[in-house]
Structure 1
Amino acid sequence: MLSPVSVRRAGVSLTLCCTLLVGATACNDDDKDSAATPTGSSSAEKQKFAKTRFVANAGLAAGATYQWIVKPFRAGKFKGGADGRRFALIKAGLAGAFTYNRLKAATKNAQGDPTLAKAVAPLTAGIDALKDLPSKLRKGEGTDSIVNSFDGIINDVKGAGSSAGAEVKDKVPSAGELAKG
């Protein structure tokens, strides 16, 4: 006698086989003239939006740096004994990691535009130097020099973007975006 489980498995198997059969017969090569036209994934179109992507990524990095690193630092939130110091340092560490991530993405975007690539190329070493700073910031180690490093690199990226015709404006990411990285 067949159990309900074996009947269910047979039904699922039959449905799966029929789906694969119908899908295979629908994908024949008889109608070669109806091939899909390429969409926005060609390399020329990716190059076309390089400045826009650069501005978006650099703007998010600049906004995160100002909102969660520079502004709390200037308000004295990172000093020993300050109210909410631990929470401010944790947020600053997350913002630092987010900033590093967005600056690396902006650097890749800049490579799609010749003028922007030349302007941003000298900054890659400085951006790479930010890699280990978020963990130090979370621990509260040397906050003065770390904040100055982030602020300096952001200002350099903004300047490079402006010189290449891609003005970067601060765009503060949400806390959810910051946590996702």
Structure 2
Amino acid sequence: MPRSLLRALVPLLLCALLAGTTAACDGDDKDSAATPTSTVERQKLAKTRFVANAGLAAGATYQWIVKPYRAGTFASGADGRRFALIKAGLAGAFTYNRLKAALRNAKGDPTLAKAVAPLTVGVEALKNLPSKLRKGDSTESVVNSFDGAINKVKDAGKGAGAEVTNKVPSAGELARG
């Protein structure tokens, strides 16, 4: 077999081999090893995911909304106000996104689901607030809304045995939402 033909066939054979192995791994079987099989495992993962998502929401709220507000960065004429408000708007959208995910996660654990169910309306009320932050509109009430929602989620988690601690997301995570 000529060398040029062998060079052309080797990549094709490797691609076919890789395609065959990935196709075998991508079956229609819903009960794969990657998904939890028992109720206990599902509940444990629900709490873990809840804590992770709520922790990211709490960290973003504190780092880019509450802390700059308390430092006076949102005040009219403050140095860096515009940039701080833009970051706060992004953090608000990120927080809303992560809190929605945390509430979805909580549904996997009966105790946690009962604890956070009353918070759904409060989290949904945050939906339009990031745009107010970016514009600098009524920052005090917006900051208090985010801070209050985070504290309620933390309290509900703690009461259900899923204590939430702040985890500040990176700027990249914040931008991705």
Query: For this structure pair, what is the TM-score category when the shorter chain's length is used for normalisation?
Result: 0.7 to 0.9
Q: 1:66 aligns with which of 37, 62, 65?
A: 62
> What is the correspondence of 1:1-181 to structure 2 with a 5 Å cutoff?
38-42=32-36, 44=38, 45-181=41-177
Secondary structure of the structure 2 residue equivalent to 1:83: coil
AA in 2 matched with 1:38:
S
Q: Deviations over 1:74-98 (max 9, x none)?
A: 0000000000000000000000000
Task: Mark the structure with the bigger radius of gyration.
Answer: 1
AA in 2 matched with 1:82:
A
Secondary structure of the structure 1 residue equivalent to 2:64: helix
Looking at structure 2, the residues matched to 61 and 48 of structure 1 have their Cα atoms a distance apart, in angstroms, of 20
* Runs of 4+ more than 6 Å apart: 19-24
Residue identity over aligned pairs, in percent, reads: 72
Looking at structure 2, the residues matched to 179 and 142 of structure 1 have their Cα atoms a distance apart, in angstroms, of 23
Which sections of structure 2, spanning at least 5 residues, go unmatched?
A: 1-7
TM-score, normalising length from structure 1?
0.80
TM-score, normalising length from structure 2?
0.82
Looking at structure 2, the residues matched to 139 and 150 of structure 1 have their Cα atoms a distance apart, in angstroms, of 16
Secondary structure of the structure 1 residue equivalent to 2:75: coil
Secondary structure of the structure 2 residue equivalent to 1:76: coil
Secondary structure of the structure 2 residue equivalent to 1:118: helix
Secondary structure of the structure 1 residue equivalent to 2:163: coil
Looking at structure 1, the residues matched to 18 and 89 of structure 2 have their Cα atoms a distance apart, in angstroms, of 52
Looking at structure 2, the residues matched to 167 and 140 of structure 1 have their Cα atoms a distance apart, in angstroms, of 32
State the aligned residue count: 163
Measure how far apart 1:46 and its partner are: 3.2
Looking at structure 2, the residues matched to 16 and 141 of structure 1 have their Cα atoms a distance apart, in angstroms, of 59
Looking at structure 1, the residues matched to 65 and 37 of structure 2 have their Cα atoms a distance apart, in angstroms, of 36
Measure how far apart 1:144 and its partner are: 0.4
CA RMSD of aligned residues (A): 2.7
Which sections of structure 1, spanning at least 5 residues, go unmatched?
A: 1-10, 29-34
Q: Does structure 2 retain, via aligned residues, the 8 Å contact 1:89–1:138?
A: yes
